């Protein structure tokens, strides 16, 4: 099963978030998403988050900067660990690869975003949720319904 990370770096005042305009996979082309990618063999999820963020934005973060607040499990397809971090290094993010990086006001997100960001971003900032353990989001396959 494929394993991925996805991260949202927010400014310290919680007003801005770093997003990236996707080229691949094809279904995401032209849409904004958090920063992330595939977890490599023998790599921890948190190490993958640090690596992917550096590769895609040029910003070096540390493992302890990132907090895994949610996990999505789609049986037989993928698992995704979803992280958030809070730092004004968000303003240092820039386009490093072909995908364009944006620092956007979280309350003024454009229409061209991956649909689940409309609830993932507020979830990351929800002060009423206990994130001592990540929120588990399991997708039940159609065969089981």
- pLDDT per residue as tens digits for the range 43-99: 999 999 999 999 999 999 999 999 999 999 988 889 999 999 999 999 999 999 899
Upstream peptide bond of 7 is cis (omega within 30 degrees of 0): no
Neighbour-count burial of 128, counting CB atoms closer than 10 A to its CB (0-12 exposed, 13-18 middle, 19+ buried): exposed
Say which DSSP state 29 is in.
T
pTM of the model: 0.92
State what percent of residues in the chain have pLDDT above 90.
Answer: 82
- Tokens for 86? 């809070």
The verdict on domain 2-144 having CATH code 3.40.228.10 is: no
Q: Which band of pLDDT confidence, cut at 50, 70 and 90, is reported for residue 145?
A: very low
Contact at 8 Å (CB) between 36 and 7? yes
Q: Which residue in the block uniquely carries the two structure tokens 């820039």? A: 94
The C-alpha atoms of residue 13 and residue 22 are separated, in whole angstroms, by: 26
Domain ranges of the chain: 2-144
pLDDT at 129 over 90: no
Query: 102 CB contacts (<8 Å, ≥6 apart)?
Result: 18, 19, 20, 21, 32
Secondary element (H or E) of residue 8: strand 2-10
């Amino acid at each position: 099963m494929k394993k991925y990370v996805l991260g949202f770096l927010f400014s310290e005042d919680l007003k801005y978030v770093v997003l990236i305009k996707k080229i691949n996979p094809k279904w995401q082309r032209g849409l904004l998403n958090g920063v992330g990618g595939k977890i490599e063999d023998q790599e921890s999820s948190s190490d993958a988050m640090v690596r992917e963020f550096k590769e895609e934005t040029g910003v070096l973060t540390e493992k302890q900067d990132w907090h895994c607040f949610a996990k999505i499990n789609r049986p037989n397809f993928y698992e995704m660990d979803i992280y958030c971090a809070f730092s004004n290094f968000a303003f240092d993010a820039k386009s490093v690869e072909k995908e364009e990086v944006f620092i956007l006001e979280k309350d003024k997100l454009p229409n061209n975003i991956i649909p689940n960001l409309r609830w993932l971003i507020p979830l990351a900032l929800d002060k009423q949720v206990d994130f001592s353990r990540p929120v588990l989001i399991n997708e039940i396959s159609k065969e089981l319904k």
